[in-house]
Structure 1
Amino acid sequence: MTTPPGDESVLHRPGAEESAALAPVRFKGRGMLLEQELYIERQADRELLGALRSRQHCHVLAPRQVGKSNLRVRATALLRSAGVRCVSLDLTGIASRSDEEAWYSSLIRRLTSALALPIDVDAFRTRAQGRPSERMIEFLHGEVLPRVSEPLVIFIDEIDLTLDLPFRDDFFRALLFMQDARADDAAWQRLTFCLLGVASPIDLVSDLVATPFNKSQPIELRDFTREELRRLRDGLLSIGGDTDALIDAIFAWTGGHPAFTQQICERLVLQGLDGRTEVERVADLADEMYLRRGRGVDPILADIDRRFSGADRETPQSSRLLKSYKDLLQGAQIRTDEANHLHFGLLIAGLVAERDGFFTPRNKIIATVFDEAWADEQLEQRVRSVIGWAQGREVTTEELKFLLAGREAAKKQEEERIQAELARERALSDVRQTRARYRWLQALVFVVVAFLSVLVLLFREEAADHEKVRQEAQRLREEAAAAQKQAKEEARKAREDAAQRRSEAERAQREAGDAAAKAKEAAEEAKTALAKAKAAGLSAADAKQKQRDAELLASVASFLEANASAKRQEAERATAEADLARLKADQAAAEAIERATRAENARKLADEIAANAKRDAEAALAAAKRSADEAAEAKRQAQLAQQEAAQAKLDKEAAEKARDKALDEVGAMSSAKQLKAEADGARAEAAEARRALESCRRQCPP
């Protein structure tokens, strides 16, 4: 189906989701995808849509048949649903490639027609001034943008067709100008360009400084991953068998190549497994559809072959591309961050892919069709073309020396390349060993740091515990001092109260004694009075009254004596209570002293633990410092190894430059015609030159 499900995968149109759910999934290996034909969303879909929504200029430069057009169509539909005006310009049908005026005029007319704008292009051409690229800028700014209120995205497809334009640098400078003008003119901020094609930026522009690709976001349109191919399950269920095993077999042959994957799935749906296992059936189809048909039948394989075949393709650059590709087939590892534009040329040609930071042969089909024998054949063809040029003509001594020098230079360059490769491998081996030691030291430092962190954590916990113990001891000392002070105060008060009560008891006792004495005296006086009364002859009533008074005084005296005795007992009890309070105070003071002693012992123990933890931490810090010094030394060794590797890389680049120079000299054999013209006056040496040519033919048979 053209629009896969997802947050933004299904275009907003009536019944789209229902029809997608009911109709069967179909595969299509070539051309634009139609309704119900499977579309697998990739990271590039999300990146392109996000960049264009944020009005960021983009470029999608990738090999053929990887889904650039479907990517553009899907992004266009989603942008239009969000209110963005989109237009696509295909450079395939643009007029004359040599007439600059006609080319820009055709481009402007197509843009006007696609936007359906009421603009008289002929009138604009009549009044516009300047170069055609400047008039295109004026047309967009003065005619198009004022009539389009929405954000505008212009897709320019088949941008690689500008490679044949002698004025292509002016076109790309115009795009760069419109990018830079955004900072000063808000109108340009509504215009966004997206370039699509099969070329690398370094091939499209000759001026590597004034290029729009430096400020444009690259969108990498990679082959499908194994996880993305899970979307194939629904379309392959009708075949039967193990669907996951079938997808694994397809991925093993295609490497996720979009067109190859869809083509094999389409054939499987039509023909089924045919009684074979999943692996056998996919292998049979790959052999039938690609391997046996050869490079000239399948359009994708034929396009790759055309990039290296033919007289116009026999250039020094193509020879270097073939040599790099042969190295990859032989197992060489080329990191993407260390690659040059030649390796990206292989990427654009569709021979290699970028996986896990390395360039590798793109898939099993391409590596089988374009194998080492094919690369050797192409390289040999270039040598034969040079030798063929020399056959059948009178070659001067200078020309023969030039040919032989080219062969010697090529041999020397190959030897230098091998030596550079060996030096690079040795340097890389040293770097790997140093990195391994450095990683080991890093692990050691990590362990030491982790151990130190634990020690610091424990030390902090011990310090916190020590602080808690110290605070508890201080609190206990303060409580003991307060209890001791309170006990002393209570004992003092008890003693004072006991003394006061004792004094009162003694006073009461004295008063009771005095009262008793007075009572006795009164009784005696009463008796004496009674006796005197009797002697005096007083009446019995008076005598009885006197007796009652005496008895009353005796009762008062007894009461006073009993009261004194009670106060004495109370004083004795107060004394006993004071003694008990003094005893309790002494006991509390003893307990407080004991608690203070325990707190002091705990404080001493905490101080000892803290001192031990501090000593352990200092020892660990010293060990960490030693480990850090060792890590620094290892890092220095690694830097030295990297410098050696960099020097080896420079040596390799120098060897490559020497090889390129030799190949350029061999590729420039056409200059020998000029040497031939200059040597027409030296016909006397023709016999010697012919003998030398016959010797060359025997050494270098065609």
Structure 2
Amino acid sequence: MLTCIIVCIFMGIDLTMRYQVGGSLKYDDSTYIVRQADEQLYTGLKTGDFCYVFNCHQTGKSSLLHRTIHRLEKENYICIYLNLALLGTNQTTDIQWYKGIIFSLFHKLNLTERINFEGWWEQQSELTPVQRLYQFVEQVLLKEVPNNRIFIFIDNINSLLSLNFPVNDFFIWIRYCYEQQEHNPSFQRLGFALFGVASPSNLIADRYRNPFKIGQAIKLCDFQLHEAMPLLEGLEEVVSHPQAILAYIIHWTRGQPFLTQKLCQLVVQVALESYKETITIPNGAEGYWVEQLVRSRIIQHWKIQDEPEHLRTIRDRLLFDEQKAGKLLNIYQRVLQVEELRNRNPIENLIPADNSEEQTELFLSGLVGNYNGYLRVKNPIYRSVFTLQWVLRQL
């Protein structure tokens, strides 16, 4: 890292512009890309909607979450962040898990200074764990925080799938909080936003008390070229024709957030390695230059070069469950075969999206997307890594 900084100083490259490859971006990060989802989530929460953002890994969910928290806190709303990945494992009992949720709320609202948590918990000993959560919200949270609106952001909701007890009651509790708004105005001050790699059907089977039936799904789309313009700043420092380079980056990634940031970072890295203040690319050769970068730094020997891990995450999601893997690979194989034939009869051969369990799992891997009601491979990088030959080897 020190060598990189010295080289940057020597070359006159602005270190204030850095691309974030993996992890959550800060709310004021210069490479944060504002999408339609930003306004939908912010507006939905303020108008009292139950919102959820479900998508595959490394699509910007956590960055969106923290940026929205910052926007709301600037307006003096209370925001509570709960990371379910830290609150339970398959060894955790339901009592331990609900106690962890309630204690986290106690702690984040600074209620431990006014109420003895262990004493309160013991007073509820005759209630079931979820009943204690009901009691806490009605009798403690909304009474001890009487005026402010409170938004609870729940991250890594997919962690619930690894628990060894049913979690239907947790989602029924969330729905109850919204249904109570008609009877108890205090509940109008409480809102929820859920984030994770999951689908509503994965999380709760109860059709009648499912909170997602009354919620607003926030669709987190990949970057469009016009949205990705903030990324130009870093490219302008190191390469000629930066707009053309960014356009070809988006062509290869189709705006997938992680890959787009990674390719921008690779452009900067190539400039550092070449010790050139600006890489001069002949007019019209930008597409070839980006293609060579993609093939040499991402596609070739991808298992070794996949740092931070991205392509291996997709592979592992596909192959994790041996009973489902064959079905997922068969669907993906058909998608690849159809795309090879698309120039002959592009409409008739396309595979319709049907919201089946298998297709949903394929969507959550990130490999395939729903485009106008049909399945398509997300981008040329995935198509070049997870080829028909790769599928046949797995099968």
Do both share a fold (TM > 0.5)?
A: yes
Contact 1:104 1:136 in 2 (8 A): yes
From 56, 59, 66, the counterpart of 1:66: 59
In structure 1, the partner of 2:76 is 83
- Whole-Å separation in 2 of the counterparts to 1:109 and 1:289: 46
Contact 1:241 1:278 in 2 (8 A): no
In structure 2, the partner of 1:391 is none
- Whole-Å separation in 1 of the counterparts to 2:89 and 2:392: 38
TM-superposed deviation, 1:53: 0.9
Q: Deviations over 1:607-633 (max 9, x none)?
A: xxxxxxxxxxxxxxxxxxxxxxxxxxx
- The alignment status of 1:368 with 2:365, answered yes or no, reads no
Q: Deviations over 1:110-143 (max 9, x none)?
A: 1211222233221121111321111111111111
- The alignment status of 1:377 with 2:393, answered yes or no, reads yes
From 115, 118, 124, the counterpart of 1:122: 118
Aligned-residue sequence identity (percent) comes to 29
One-letter code aligned to 1:307: R
In structure 2, the partner of 1:359 is 375
How do 1:41-60 residues align onto structure 2 when only pairs under 5 Å count?
41-60=34-53
Q: Deviations over 1:521-546 (max 9, x none)?
A: xxxxxxxxxxxxxxxxxxxxxxxxxx
Contact 2:239 2:280 in 1 (8 A): no
- Whole-Å separation in 2 of the counterparts to 1:223 and 1:231: 15
- Whole-Å separation in 2 of the counterparts to 1:231 and 1:208: 43
Q: Deviations over 1:237-296 (max 9, x none)?
A: 122322222112101211101011111111212323756542233223322332123347
- Please state whether the residue corresponding to 1:59 is helix, strand or coil: strand
How do 1:174-213 residues align onto structure 2 when only pairs under 5 Å count?
174-213=173-212
How do 1:7-22 residues align onto structure 2 when only pairs under 5 Å count?
none
- Please state whether the residue corresponding to 1:40 is helix, strand or coil: coil
From 321, 324, 333, the counterpart of 2:331: 324
TM-superposed deviation, 1:305: 1.2
Between stretches 180-189 and 234-243, larger displacement belongs to 234-243
Q: Deviations over 1:178-220 (max 9, x none)?
A: 2222221111111111110001111111323321111111001
Contact 1:321 1:343 in 2 (8 A): yes
- Normalising by structure 2, we get a TM-score of 0.84
One-letter code aligned to 1:86: C
- Whole-Å separation in 2 of the counterparts to 1:346 and 1:210: 27
In structure 2, the partner of 1:613 is none
TM-superposed deviation, 1:176: 1.9
- Whole-Å separation in 1 of the counterparts to 2:314 and 2:194: 22
- Whole-Å separation in 1 of the counterparts to 2:392 and 2:181: 50
Q: Deviations over 1:330-379 (max 9, x none)?
A: 1242344x443432221111111233443310111111111222222333
In structure 2, the partner of 1:26 is 18
In structure 1, the partner of 2:345 is none
- Whole-Å separation in 1 of the counterparts to 2:54 and 2:89: 24
Contact 2:30 2:230 in 1 (8 A): no
Contact 2:248 2:290 in 1 (8 A): yes
One-letter code aligned to 1:26: R
One-letter code aligned to 1:328: V
Q: Where does structure 2 lack aligned partners over 5 or more consecutive residues?
A: 1-13, 272-277, 339-348
TM-superposed deviation, 1:62: 0.5
Contact 1:153 1:193 in 2 (8 A): yes
One-letter code aligned to 2:319: S
In structure 1, the partner of 2:247 is 248
In structure 2, the partner of 1:38 is 31
TM-superposed deviation, 1:29: 1.4
How do 1:483-502 residues align onto structure 2 when only pairs under 5 Å count?
none
One-letter code aligned to 1:68: K
From 250, 258, 280, the counterpart of 2:288: 280
- Whole-Å separation in 2 of the counterparts to 1:334 and 1:115: 49
- Please state whether the residue corresponding to 1:52 is helix, strand or coil: helix
Structure 1 residues 325 and 150, CA gap change in structure 2 (3 angstroms): same
Contact 2:142 2:186 in 1 (8 A): yes
One-letter code aligned to 1:28: Q
How do 1:213-228 residues align onto structure 2 when only pairs under 5 Å count?
213-228=212-227
In structure 1, the partner of 2:318 is 308
- Whole-Å separation in 2 of the counterparts to 1:80 and 1:318: 43
- Whole-Å separation in 2 of the counterparts to 1:270 and 1:73: 28
Contact 1:255 1:362 in 2 (8 A): yes
One-letter code aligned to 1:111: L
- Whole-Å separation in 2 of the counterparts to 1:326 and 1:65: 24
- Please state whether the residue corresponding to 1:196 is helix, strand or coil: strand
Larger Rg: 1
One-letter code aligned to 1:30: G
How do 1:470-549 residues align onto structure 2 when only pairs under 5 Å count?
none
Q: Deviations over 1:71-112 (max 9, x none)?
A: 011100111112211010001111454311111111111121
In structure 2, the partner of 1:102 is 96
Higher relative contact order (CA 8 A, sep 6+): 2
Structure 1 residues 96 and 65, CA gap change in structure 2 (3 angstroms): closer
- Please state whether the residue corresponding to 2:224 is helix, strand or coil: coil
Contact 1:352 1:359 in 2 (8 A): yes
One-letter code aligned to 1:56: D
Contact 1:295 1:305 in 2 (8 A): no
Q: Deviations over 1:571-610 (max 9, x none)?
A: xxxxxxxxxxxxxxxxxxxxxxxxxxxxxxxxxxxxxxxx
Structure 1 residues 36 and 47, CA gap change in structure 2 (3 angstroms): closer
One-letter code aligned to 2:93: D
- Whole-Å separation in 2 of the counterparts to 1:222 and 1:136: 34
- Please state whether the residue corresponding to 1:207 is helix, strand or coil: coil
- Whole-Å separation in 1 of the counterparts to 2:166 and 2:29: 43
- Whole-Å separation in 2 of the counterparts to 1:62 and 1:95: 22
In structure 2, the partner of 1:157 is 155
Contact 1:23 1:36 in 2 (8 A): no
Compute the RMSD of aligned alpha carbons.
2.1
- Whole-Å separation in 1 of the counterparts to 2:363 and 2:379: 12
Structure 1 residues 360 and 53, CA gap change in structure 2 (3 angstroms): same
In structure 1, the partner of 2:134 is 137
One-letter code aligned to 1:282: V
- Whole-Å separation in 1 of the counterparts to 2:127 and 2:53: 31
TM-superposed deviation, 1:23: 8.5
- Please state whether the residue corresponding to 1:113 is helix, strand or coil: helix
Contact 1:159 1:197 in 2 (8 A): yes
- Whole-Å separation in 1 of the counterparts to 2:218 and 2:153: 14
- Whole-Å separation in 1 of the counterparts to 2:249 and 2:365: 22
In structure 2, the partner of 1:294 is 302
- Whole-Å separation in 2 of the counterparts to 1:113 and 1:320: 45
How do 1:536-575 residues align onto structure 2 when only pairs under 5 Å count?
none
In structure 2, the partner of 1:267 is 266
Between stretches 43-52 and 246-255, larger displacement belongs to 246-255
- Whole-Å separation in 2 of the counterparts to 1:142 and 1:231: 47
From 358, 363, 368, the counterpart of 1:347: 363
- Whole-Å separation in 2 of the counterparts to 1:274 and 1:372: 36
- Please state whether the residue corresponding to 2:228 is helix, strand or coil: helix
- Please state whether the residue corresponding to 1:344 is helix, strand or coil: helix
- Whole-Å separation in 1 of the counterparts to 2:49 and 2:303: 39
- Please state whether the residue corresponding to 2:45 is helix, strand or coil: helix
